[in-house]
Chains A and B, each alone.
Chain A
Amino acid sequence: MISAFIHKFSSPKSFVQITKTLYPLFIFTGLSMLIIGWTWGLLFAPPDAVQGNSYRIIFLHVPAVIFAELIYFFMALCALMHIVWRVKLAAYLIKSAAPIGAMITFIGLFSGSIWGIPTWGTWWQWDARITSTLILFIMYLGILTLHGSFSNLEKSDRLMSILVVIGVVNIPIIKKSVDWWSTLHQPASISVSGGSSIDPSMLYPLIISIIGLGFTLISLGILSSRSYILSREKNKKWVLKHV
């Protein structure tokens, strides 16, 4: 039953068709929520008692690192689909999501460094949180490099999926790094169970920024995966019709 479900919704053709109608909705929701979240956060939210105005980079940093991890988790689910059910679309999605993941991880690291200078007094420390996030960035680059190093694309897809599965162990390590080891980075402010140590006046614009960035990144993913699918399936009849 699972298999039937997977095969029905995993054809590249139906993906291209469905995302075509979803894209305008997603990009509009994403960008408008980002504009609202960032305007609220940067101009109207109160300054922080300890950090003053420099905390405001949280509205970029936190959404960025959340999706740095979530995109990798999504790629690992795709790798499961690809390894077990041989879903081609899953491999295409991994290949298209990886550059977006690399970009947003870099933004997360870079904004963290900028935040670190005025607050911590350093832009880089080899603490467990920062190092494991750097490893995540290198994983994204490694996945792309591996995929690009074979002339047989099917083989590239398979090896890429295996590497994605190997690397997914890093995700819980990043999440728990601030609890397992002593770090310069502070522990989590928002917990999965719903608790938060951020005042509501700052938390609402942060949540809007997170959702906004999420939809924006999905839209970017739709754009990059659609063009990649069309180039990979360019010999199929449906692509010729579509173009």
Chain B
Amino acid sequence: MVEHPAAVHGVPVVDTFAEAFGMRAARVIITAASPRWARQAATTMTGFATSVIACKCEAAIERELLPRLTPDGRPGISVLVFATDSDGLQKRLVERIGQTVLTCPTTACFDGLPDATERMSVGKPLRVFGDGFQASKVVAGRRYWRIPVMEGEFLIQEDFGRVKGIGGGNFLILGETAEAALAAAEAAVEAMAGIAGVILPFPGGIVRSGSKVGAKRYKTMVASTNDAFAPTVRPITSTELEDGVNSVLEIVLDGLDFESIAGAMRVGIMAACRPGVRRITAGNYGGKLGPHHFHLRKILGGDRSPGPVPAAAPSGGTP
């Protein structure tokens, strides 16, 4: 029998779950002459990609890659990109790679999911930037496009793999002060950095403006502030916050599979449970919208298997 802890380092962990959604995911390997330029391209590519609500995709750096792990033996960065559907994912990759990686000095771009059976054409639509001067090479059964540019040549793989991923894993850090909540969130992000198969798409990995679906007052809004967890309106809304909680930050995770997200959440929550944190909880919609449920206490107990859908919603939602 796996023991499911109710607290970590004296910080209570609510018996609730994070509710996440199915997405389509790709892994892009960006290499460059130096780690600096690989990171520059990756950072630019993953800008404005925090939430599918307005950015059309979610993307972030997954981890740094040593030269021996990249297709061309240069320093690299692995980026994960998530979108709600297959067509959207392909379009986002073409747009973002075309505008941010192709344009960045010394870079080359490769597929990071070579075993994926679903393939997307990415280098092929970008090749026409070469205006007829482009050339292709097939190495080990994979086609690469060589696009002549002013600096020299941009190399990109013709097609990229696509897999089913999960978006919207999350947990909330309820702090006594804004400083305490931020320190705990930073510790969580640092602990989760570099875990394979997972990204934290929000700025620095942290969300200060968790949202609920729709809005109470503005009918056209797709999402609006999660007032149940906003401390400044605590007396005038249906709050989830107790006395002593003065700031809440959220960590949102996207991943290639359930196990990766669950493992990262465990590491992050363990790191976030520190002095000044009153409680750890998670956002969901009562289990009615997203098929993937990350039960916090089960995860902390080392159980990474997807659990059954609970009957009721224990806490407020944060898409």
The yes or no verdict on A and B being binding partners is no
